[in-house]
Amino acid sequence: MTYIKPKFRHPELPKNDLGYVKSDYEGAISTLCAGCGHDSISAAIVQSCFELSIEPHRLAKLSGIGCSSKTPTYFLSNSHGFNSVHGRMPSIATGANMANRDLIYLGVSGDGDSASIGMGQFVHAIRKNVNMVYIVMNNGCYGLTKGQNSATTDLGGFSKAGGLNHYPAIDLVSLAIEMGATFVGRSFSGDKNQLVPMIKAAIAHQGFALLDVVSPCVTFNNKAESTKSYDYVRAHLEATSTIDYVPEKEEITVSYEAGMSALVEMHDGSVIQLHKLAPNWDPRDRFSAVRRLQKAQANGEVLTGLLYIDPESKDMHELEQTVDVPLNSLREAELCPGSSVLERVNAEFR
């Protein structure tokens, strides 16, 4: 009996700008069910961080409770990590981000963690525009506790044990757009060609970036009629656009016919190039995004791609006018500026 990932790697693996190979971004071997969509998302995160040449120590991965929240163990072993109480990851991320704005914050959550127990936390992190990537591995069931219906289970759907779901599903992307999220996308664990550039763009976004990733639960919710199954998603996949993420120093090489392409310049100088698959739609226009989403929902389509982005996004640090550097780099001189400064501050209140 064995379940050990060998240490040998392909001898000709490509290296990124830091000289790392992709395996330098891997984690421990997954203990999730074989074929779990979450593992594909983990692999897409590994791929994205490798391609972006992120120094592993510059990233913090945070999660709550659930199958999704186990995954940080399975990627980026050399990065920081925090596994919080159920549904409380957004608070931890907010606090960490306040303390050290220099790290990249990657939150991983699930439909239970975000749409049920952590809903309050989730919407407030959106509202505050915390600068983080928030990935929801959305499988439409409580996989870790044997597949009960969750808040994103289809209305009228059945759990594997036979329980009928009487309640409408919460659509996290619509909710996020409603709450003023500045970057909202949806993708599918089985489509890395789309998912990887979306993760990269989400990392580049300055502010809260939600990626709702449909991730089939092979054990409890991969029935053909479930909107979260491999078969259903593949049959009803409707993408808003194909997306290329172009880092700052690279040239844009793909060109599309006029009117079908949109370039979105990101805060860090990189560019997202969208190839729109439907005209009359603009990812920078919140109304058109909502309309498009509702239309897809009515047609039973799984609309994927970048749904909405606000390139002018102001994150919480900007709104709060916080200090420019991580708190741990502040020394005594800055923290205790002396009695004359105290006098001046006190004087303001007189």
Partner 1 sequence: MKPTDITNPEYFHKVVDCQYACPAHTPVPEYIRLIAAERYTDAYMVNWESNVFPGILGRTCDRPCEPACRRGRVEDEPVAICRLKRVAADNKGEVKSLMPTAPKKKNGFKIALIGGGPASLTVARDLAPLGYEIHLYDEWDKAGGMMRTQIPSFRLPESVLDEEVNYVLDMGIHTHFNTYVSSMKKILEKDYDAIFVGTGAPKGRDLPDVEGRPEADKFVHLGIEWLASVAFGHRTTTSKKVIVLGGGNTAMDCCRTARRLGGEKVTVVVRSPFNDMKASPWEIEDAQREDIPILNNMPPKAFVVEGGKLKGMLFGKVAALYDENGKRSLVPTGEPDIFIEADEVLIAIGQDNSFPWIERDLGIKFGKWDLPVVDRTTFQSTLDRVFFGGDAAFGPENVITAVAHGHQAAISIDLFCRGESVYNRPAPMTNLISQKMGIHEWSYDSAVVEDLRYTVPHAEKQVALKDRKVEVELGFNTSVGFKEAQRCLNCDIQTIFNTSRCIECDACMDVCPTSCITFTANGTEDDLRKRLKAPANNTSQDLYVSGNLNTGRVMIKDEDVCLHCGLCAERCPTAAWDMQKYLYQVSKASPIWSISDL
Shorter beta-carbon distance to partner 1: residue 1 or 335: 1
Identity at 127, one-letter amino acid code: R
Q: Does 168 bind partner 1 (CB under 8 A)?
A: no
| Residue 84 interacting with partner 1 (CB under 8 A) | no
DSSP designation for 321: T
CA proximity to 148, closest of 230, 225, 219, 231? 219
Cα gap 293→287, rounded to integer Å: 10
Query: Could you identify the residue written with the tokens 């391609």?
Result: 51
Q: Which of 34, 298, 333, 347 binds partner 1 (CB under 8 A)?
A: 34
37 binds partner 1 (CB under 8 A): yes
* Part in contact with partner 1 (CB under 8 A); list of ranges 23-31, 54-62, 174-182, 258-266: 23-31
Nearer to partner 1, 31 or 329 (CB): 31
**Shortest distance in whole angstroms from residue 162 CB to partner 1:** 22
Which residue's CB is nearer to partner 1, number 206 or number 219? Answer: 219
Q: Does the protein bind partner 1 through residue 224 (CB under 8 A)?
A: no
Residue with smaller CB distance to partner 1, 207 or 305:
305
Going by C-alpha positions, the residue among 177, 173, 187, 201 that lies closest to residue 264 is 201
Identity of the residue, 9 or 57, whose beta carbon is nearer to partner 1 in the bound complex? 9
Asked if 269 touches partner 1 (CB under 8 A), the answer is no
E strand intervals along the chain: 59-63, 80-83, 104-110, 132-138, 141-142, 148-149, 183-188, 208-214, 237-239, 241-246, 261-265, 271-276, 302-309
99 touching partner 1, by CB under 8 A? no
Closest contact distance (angstroms) between CB of 11 and partner 1 is 7
Residue 254 interacting with partner 1 (CB under 8 A) = no
Residue 15 sits in the site that holds partner 1 (CB under 8 A): no
- Structural element, H or E, at residue 220: none
Q: Is residue 344 close enough to count as binding partner 1 by CB under 8 A?
A: no
Find the part of the chain contacting partner 1 (CB under 8 A) among 153-161, 204-212, 218-226, 254-262: 218-226
Residue 143 per-residue DSSP state: G
CB 204 within 8 A of CB 245: yes
Tokens coding 287 = 């109304």
Which CA distances in Å does 55 have to 25, 59, 199? 9, 7, 16
The tokens describing 148, both together, are 């009960």
**Residue 230 within binding range of partner 1, rule CB under 8 A:** yes
Q: Is 29 in the site for partner 1 (CB under 8 A)?
A: yes
Which position among 57, 146, 234, 314 is part of the footprint of partner 1 (CB under 8 A)? 234
Maximum Cα interatomic distance, the chain, rounded to a whole number of Å: 75
Nearer to partner 1, 11 or 338 (CB): 11
Of the candidates 27, 40, 80, 239, which one interacts with partner 1 according to CB under 8 A?
A: 40
CA distance 339 to 341: 5
Closer by beta carbon to partner 1, 69 or else 189: 189
Q: How far is CA 303 from the centre of its chain?
A: 16
Q: Which stretch binds partner 1 (CB under 8 A): 9-17, 59-67, 166-174, 205-213?
A: 9-17
Q: What is the rounded CA–CA span in Å between residue 200 and residue 49?
A: 8
Is 235 within 8 Å of 225 (Cβ atoms)?
A: no
Question: Considering only residues 87, 190, 197, 207, which one is a binding residue for partner 1 as defined by CB under 8 A?
Answer: 190
Of the candidate residues 14, 162, 259, 338, the single one contacting partner 1 (CB under 8 A) = 14
Torsions phi, psi of 212, nearest 5? -95, 110
- Interface with partner 1 by CB under 8 A: which residues? 1-14, 22-23, 29-30, 33-37, 39-40, 42-43, 189-190, 192, 216, 218-219, 222, 230-231, 234
